[in-house]
Amino acid sequence: MTTPKTLYDKIWDAHLVDEAEDGTSLLYIDRHLVHEVTSPQAFEGLRMAGRTVRAPDKTIAVPDHNVPTTAGREDPKNMTEDSAIQVAALDKNAKDFGINYYPVSDVRQGIVHIVGPENGWTLPGMTVVCGDSHTATHGAFGALAHGIGTSEVEHVLATQTLIQKKSKNMKVEITGKLRPGVTAKDITLSVIGETGTAGGTGYVIEYCGEAIRDLSMEGRMTVCNMAIEGGARAGLIAPDEKTYEYVKGRTHAPKAGQWEAAMEWWKTLYSDDDAHWDKVVTIKGEDIAPVVTWGTSPEDVLPIDALVPAPEDFKGGKVEAARRALDYMGLTPGQKLSDVQIDTVFIGSCTNGRIEDLRAAAAVVKGKKIKDGLRAMVVPGSGLVRAQAEEEGLAQIFQDAGFEWRLAGCSMCLAMNPDQLAPGERCASTSNRNFEGRQGYKGRTHLMSPAMAAAAAITGHLTDIRELS
Ligand SMILES: CC(C)[C@H](C(=O)O)[C@@H](O)C(=O)O
Ligand code: SF4
Question: How far is Cα 222 from Cα 188, in angstroms, rounded to an integer?
Answer: 7
At residue 211, φ and ψ (nearest 5 deg) are: -65, -30
Indicate whether 166 pLDDT > 90: yes
Q: In the chain, what percentage of residues exceed pLDDT 70? A: 100
- 418-442 pLDDT per residue, tens: 999 999 999 999 999 999 999 999 9
Q: Can you give the pLDDT at residue 288?
A: 98
Q: Do domains 15-166+241-249 and 292-467 have the same CATH topology?
A: yes
The CA 134 to ligand 1 mean position distance, Å, reads: 7
The CA 20 to ligand 2 mean position distance, Å, reads: 34
| 3-class secondary-structure state, position 137 | helix
Indicate whether 469 pLDDT > 80: no
Query: What's 351's DSSP letter?
Result: H
Strand partners, 301: 293
Which residues are within 8 A (CB) of 63 and not within 5 positions of it... i.e. 6 or more apart?
A: 35, 36, 86, 87, 90, 91, 103, 104, 109
Mean of the pLDDT values across residues 59-74? 97
Q: Can you give the pLDDT at residue 141?
A: 99
Indicate whether 468 pLDDT > 90: no
How is the chain split into domains, by residue range? 15-166+241-249, 168-240+270-287, 292-467
Q: Give Cα 22 distance to the centre of its chain.
A: 32
Q: In the CATH scheme, what is the homologous superfamily, with its name and number, of domain 292-467? A: Aconitase, domain 3 (3.30.499.10)
How much is the mean pLDDT over the chain?
A: 98
120 and 384 Cβ atoms separated by less than 8 Å: no
Which ligand lies nearest the alpha carbon of 438?
1
Q: Kindly give the number of the ligand 2 atom that is closest to the alpha carbon of 137.
A: 4
| 3-class secondary-structure state, position 50 | coil
C-alpha closest to that of 346 among 445, 438, 273? 445
Query: In this structure, which residue's CA is closest to atom 6 in ligand 1?
Result: 132
The CA 349 to ligand 2 mean position distance, Å, reads: 6
Q: Kindly give the number of the ligand 1 atom that is closest to the alpha carbon of 132.
A: 6
Query: What's 118's DSSP letter?
Result: H
Strand partners, 162: 27
Q: Can you give the pLDDT at residue 49?
A: 98
Q: Among 64-73, 74-83, 106-115, 400-409, which stretch is predicted with the lowest mean pLDDT? A: 74-83
Mean of the pLDDT values across residues 79-85? 95
The CA 414 to ligand 2 mean position distance, Å, reads: 7
| 3-class secondary-structure state, position 315 | coil
The three-state DSSP-derived secondary structure of 423-466 is CCCEEEECCCCCCCCCCCCCCEEEECCHHHHHHHHHHCECCCHH
- What amino acid occupies position 268? T
Indicate whether 1 pLDDT > 80: no
- 184-239 pLDDT per residue, tens: 999 999 999 999 999 999 999 999 999 999 999 999 999 999 999 999 999 999 99
C-alpha closest to that of 36 among 107, 102, 96, 118? 102
- What amino acid occupies position 6? T
Q: Can you give the pLDDT at residue 394?
A: 98
Geometric angle at alpha carbon 350, from 346 and 354, rounded to 5°: 80
**How do beta strands 144-147 and 301-303 pair?**
unpaired
Give residues (CB < 6 A) around ligand 2.
64-65, 111, 113, 132, 134, 349-350, 410, 413-414, 431-432
Question: How far is Cα 62 from Cα 36, in angstroms, rounded to an integer?
Answer: 7
| 3-class secondary-structure state, position 309 | coil
C-alpha closest to that of 10 among 236, 216, 281? 236
C-alpha closest to that of 116 among 136, 88, 98? 136
Q: Can you give the pLDDT at residue 63?
A: 98
CATH of domain 168-240+270-287: 3.40.1060.10
Question: How far is Cα 247 from Cα 229, in angstroms, rounded to an integer?
Answer: 26
Indicate whether 84 pLDDT > 90: yes
For residue 208, what is the enclosing H or E element? strand 203-208
Sign (positive/negative) of CA torsion 48, 49, 50, 52?
negative
Sign (positive/negative) of CA torsion 437, 441, 445, 449?
negative
| 3-class secondary-structure state, position 229 | helix
Query: In this structure, which residue's CA is closest to atom 7 in ligand 1?
Result: 133
The class that CATH gives domain 15-166+241-249 is alpha beta
Question: How far is Cα 201 from Cα 221, in angstroms, rounded to an integer?
Answer: 20
412 and 70 Cβ atoms separated by less than 8 Å: no
| ipTM score assigned to the predicted complex | 0.99
408 and 385 Cβ atoms separated by less than 8 Å: yes
